[in-house]
Amino acid sequence: MYFPIAGIEVNPLLPPLVAFVISLFTSMGGVSGAFLLLPFQVSVLGFTSPAVSSTNQLFNIVAIPSGVYRYIKEGRMVWPLTWIVIVGTLPGVLVGAIVRIKYLPDPKDFKLFVGLVLLYIGGRLLKDLLFKKKEAGRPSTEERFQQQRKRQLQTKETSPSALDEHLSRVTVQQWTFSRIVYDFCGETFTVNAVGVMALSLIVGMVGGVYGIGGGAIIAPFFVSFFRLPVYTVAGAALMGTLVTSVAGVIFYQILAPYYPGMVISPDWLLGVLFGIGGCAGMYCGARLQKFMPAQFIKWILVVCLLFTGGNYVVSFFL
């Protein structure tokens, strides 16, 4: 099938299949998978115009709601954190879209930018993994969650579904301008709200350029910098990505008439095909997340990030 906006010809079954596999794993970490889908479109499919960024955000719009639904249903959506991410990220995404069009229209320069972003994200996650590996005898919150779930299931005093709902539910204790306090798995977490909003603004700018909405960047920061359990931040990161992606697609569409010699608006058919596969993958990923070790989820992300980012940076200098 030929996609005229993207200028590529591809089997229509390939986009949803690739998106399903990517989203199945990345959604467990609060990431839509758009950060890996964009390199696939650029390097494998040959979709290199600025429209690839808006198409990537269209994928987020179609794919993310299913994962968000699962996190809300299971009580793992930290709403105060979600709203702060949205408020901080939204203006940054709009600025990033302008930067992409005006300063990074060349595919080679854009690949270097993408590579540096991916390497930075991967480096943060890798540091987190190696650091935690040295903390012998001190289980993480995610590990304690799995241990409690295993012990209570062995007692057979409650059904697995009722147990999961009880253990995985997040309870917000305090929400002010300066901080958020919530409980999860018998532990209390305090978040600097001002710091999250400032970080979200920067992340939004980078995400707007890249076309990922920012979730792929902010989720690793929540885990590695703010030390929040991945089981509680995934929903907030995905919801923030969804809202900012809607704004990004609208903004790209508005800017398109002002750049007649450049392809800016999304390839709607290609984006929807990717989104259909991503929708199924995110639902399954959000459903399976609490059954998967957090370390496994993070290592998958690290390998994908470092390999893809390194390849892009090296190719820029060759």
Q: What is the pLDDT of residue 142?
A: 61
- Sequence-distant (≥ 6) Cβ neighbours of residue 246 within 8 angstroms: 57, 61
* Cα angle 34, 37, 40; round to 5: 160
pLDDT at residue 284, rounded to an integer: 92
Supply the pLDDT for residue 212.
67
Contact 206, 18 (CB under 8 A): no
Q: What is the pLDDT of residues 239-288, one digit of tens each?
A: 988 888 898 899 888 988 988 888 889 999 999 999 999 999 999 988 88
Which residues lie across from 244 on neighbouring strands?
A: none
Check residue 227 and give its pLDDT: 82
Q: What is the average pLDDT value for the chain, to the nearest integer?
A: 82
CA distance 63 to 282: 7
Q: What is the pLDDT of residue 55?
A: 93
Contact at 8 Å (CB) between 289 and 28?
A: yes
Q: What tens digit of pLDDT does each residue of 168-207 get? A: 688 899 999 899 999 987 789 999 999 999 988 888 887 7
List pLDDT tens digits, range 77-122.
899 999 998 898 888 888 887 887 788 777 677 778 778 877 887 8
User: What burial letters (b/e) apply to 90-107, b meaning 16+ CB within 10 Å?
Assistant: bbbbbebbeebbeebbee
Q: Alpha-carbon distance 255 to 263, whole Å?
A: 10
Structure tokens at 296: 């496994």
- pLDDT confidence bin for 13, thresholds 50/70/90: very high
User: So what's the pLDDT on residue 235?
Assistant: 87
* 37-51, 84-98, 117-131: segment of lowest average pLDDT: 117-131
pLDDT at 222 over 60: yes
The whole-number pLDDT of residue 76 equals 82
More confident residue, 128 or 202: 202
Q: Which residue has the higher pLDDT, 132 or 266?
A: 266
What's residue 47's pLDDT?
Answer: 92
pLDDT for the residue numbered 216: 67
d(CA 189, CA 173): 10
Residues 238-261: b if buried by 16+ CB within 10 A, e if exposed: bbbbbbbbbbbbebbeebbeeeee
Question: pLDDT at position 137, please?
Answer: 52
Task: Give 135-140's long-range contacts (Cβ < 8 A, gap of 24+).
Answer: 140/229, 140/294
Query: What confidence category does residue 41 fall into, taking pLDDT thresholds of 50, 70 and 90?
Result: very high
pLDDT of residue 164: 52
Length, in residues, of the chain: 318
Angle at 21 between CA 18 and CA 27, to 5 degrees: 120
Task: Please check the confidence at residue 135 and state whether its pLDDT lies above 60.
Answer: no
